[in-house]
Amino acid sequence: MPENTVPYILLAAVVILVLAIIAKHIHVVKQSHAYVIERLGAFRAVWGVGFHVLPPFIDRIAKKVTLKEQVLDYPPQPVITKDNVTMQIDTVVYFQITDPKLYAYGVEQPMIAMETLTATTLRNIIGDLELDQTLTSRDVINTKMRAILDEATDPWGIKVNRVELKNILPPADIQNSMEKQMKAERDRRQAILQAEGQKHSAILVAEGQKESAILKASADKEAAILKAEAEKQAAILKAEGQAQAILAVQKATADALKLLNEAHPNDQVIKLKALEAMQKVADGQATKLIIPSDMQGLAALAGGLKEIVKD
């Protein structure tokens, strides 16, 4: 190899080495991430999203942090209630890193610290509650835990957004007692609902009978009114018929008298008519009949006329 080519080879090697070092120290921070940078062991800066070049040998990336919301699902923890009942409760914590510098330097192993803090906080809260309160106060427990954890983790650059009690597992004997109690409560509610249904049914039947009685009474009343109207109409028609009959008789009598007057009857004819009238009176229900004295001769005359007619 010619001696004049050696310097070029060394120069090329140096350039390649420099480029490799520069390429190694070029970094692109992605969305929702941050890098904590140290210079000679001391905090220097926090890199946000974008293109960055890290000076070699003096600066280094101390910690890479994700700013997304994260979830910690802890295994069941044994806790004791105020009335000395031991149960297993597992917790889910939703948190987010808001300050990468505090997160990097605030506490050693932040996730282990979060788990320990969550367990102790849960034991303290449950220790002030009885079993029934624990089972029915999940929202209260969640709110208290979130407030306590959020305040305690502020110096670590962590914000606790939400805490949820995933499962609450009482001892087996208490679970059996609770199931029996729930069964008894369901039976009681079923009996109440059945009684309410029977009561409602009886009310409906009574109301139906009442409506039926009202309709029957109304129908009877309408029938009585119609019957009375019919009887009234029949009586009116009967009275009108009798009145018309009386008027016809009176008219016939008047016509007969008129004809009699037009014929200029003598005294003998008038007496004969009077005698006929007396005969009709005798056909009635009277037990005594008083005849005037002048009617006796008229009766004899009528008897003679009758004999003559027979002959």
Q: What is the pLDDT of residues 203-247, one digit of tens each?
A: 988 888 888 888 888 888 888 898 888 888 888 888 888 888 888
- The predicted-structure confidence for 101-154, as pLDDT tens digits, reads as follows 999 998 989 999 999 999 999 999 999 988 888 888 889 999 999 999 999 999
The DSSP secondary-structure symbol of 64 reads E
63's tokens: 């910690």
Cβ partners under 8 Å of residue 60, min gap 6: 37, 38, 54
- Domains of the chain, start order: 3-66 (2.30.30), 69-170 (3.30.479.30), 265-311 (no CATH)
What residue type is assigned to position 206 of the chain? A
Q: What percent of the chain has pLDDT over 90?
A: 30
67's tokens: 């700013």
Rg value, the chain, Cα: 64
13's tokens: 């090697």
Q: What band does 174 get if pLDDT is binned at 50, 70 and 90?
A: confident
Q: Count other Cβ atoms within 10 Å, centred on residue 302.
A: 16
